[in-house]
Structure 1
Amino acid sequence: MAEFRRAYGAAPWHLALLAGCFAVTGWIALRLAGEASAGRMLLWFVGAAVAHDLVLFPAYASVDRVLRATLGRRGTPSLLNHVRVPALGAGLLFLVYLPGILGLGDGTYRAATGLAPRVMLGRWLAVSGVLFAASALLYAVRRLAGRPR
């Protein structure tokens, strides 16, 4: 076992999990190979990877660096993590619901669902506010609970 770990660089379960991931990815690729829109899906996937690596990662790494310099580690639990987690949730929600938040694709939404598109900006702001408020409340409770009496 130690020789395998030294040669491979990780535990055997890591190799089995990686092989399973490649098998699922291959199965999905085979299912999509016959689709007429497979080329567009591949283009979107590559575009998303490039946009993440060239735009999004530097942006959120810079914001995190500024947060770390501003907030630092003021006690336990870290205030930084109580800002990071709701920001991650709000950012992911923004990316997933981007067309609805920006009011794009209303005609497509109506054609696909038969429903009138609703403005999602207010809802996204409300959910983001609740995420930050819940995180602030949890931080306050943890600070008060950790304070010596």
Structure 2
Amino acid sequence: MAEFRRGYGAAPWHLLLLIGCFAVTGWIVLRLAGEPMAGRMLIWFLGAVIAHDLVLFPVYALADRALRAGLGRRDTPSALNHVRVPALAAGLLLLVYLPGILGLGDGVYRAATGLEPRPLLARWLAVSGGLFAVSVVVYALRWRRRSG
């Protein structure tokens, strides 16, 4: 076992998990290969990978580094996580609702539901503000309990 770990670099369960992930990915690729939109999905996926790895990751890594520098050494992990979690949730919500926020697909929404598109930007801002507010309250309660 130790020799396997030394040669592979991780435990055997890690290799089994990776093989399972590749099997599921291969199954999905085979299922999508016959779809007429497969080429467009592949282009979208590659674009998302490139956008994340070359644009988004450096941006949020720099933001995290700036936040760490701004907080200094005082209680950095806890305070940092109380900013990271709502920021991640707000970012994911923005990613999901960005087409609606930008007004792309209003006609499709109207045709599918028979309703007028709603003001998603205001709702996204309200939910994001609420997430940060809850995080501030939780942090304040934790800080008070620890110091009191």
Same fold, judged at TM 0.5 (above)? yes
- Shifted more, 111-120 versus 29-38: the winner is 111-120
CA-to-aligned-CA distance 1:123-144 (integer Å, 9 cap, x gap): 1111111110111011000111
Instruction: Give the 4+ runs in structure 1 shifted more than 4 A.
Output: none
2: distance between equivalents of 1:89 and 1:79? 16
Report the counterpart of residue 43 of structure 1 in structure 2: 43
Unaligned runs of 5+ in 1: none
Aligned to 2:136: 136
Q: Quick one: distance in 1 between partners of 2:113 and 2:48?
A: 26
**1:73 and 1:79 in contact (8 A); partners too:** no
Larger displacement relative to structure 2 (19-28 or 57-66): 57-66
- 1:78-117 paired onto structure 2 within 5 Å: 78-117=78-117
What is the letter of the counterpart of residue 11 of structure 1? Answer: A
Q: Superposition pairs for residues 19-34 of structure 1, below 5 Å?
A: 19-34=19-34
Aligned length, in residue pairs:
148
The 3 A distance-change label for structure 1 pair 73 and 112 is farther
Counterpart amino acid of 1:39?
G
Conserved 8 A contact 2:101-2:121:
yes
Matched to 1:91, the amino acid is G
Q: Which stretch shifts more, 139-148 or 110-119? A: 110-119
Q: TM-score, normalised by structure 2?
A: 0.93
Can you list the C-alpha shifts for 1:1-47, whole angstroms capped at 9, x where unaligned?
11111111111111111111011101000000100000000000000
Alignment gaps of 5+ in structure 2: none
CA RMSD of aligned residues (A): 1.4
Q: Distance in 2 between matches of 1:139 and 1:68?
A: 16
CA–CA separation in structure 1 for the residues paired with 2:28 and 2:54: 26
- DSSP-derived class of the 1:78 partner: helix
Relative to the length of structure 1, the TM-score reads: 0.93
Q: Quick one: which amino acid aligns to residue 121 of structure 1? A: L
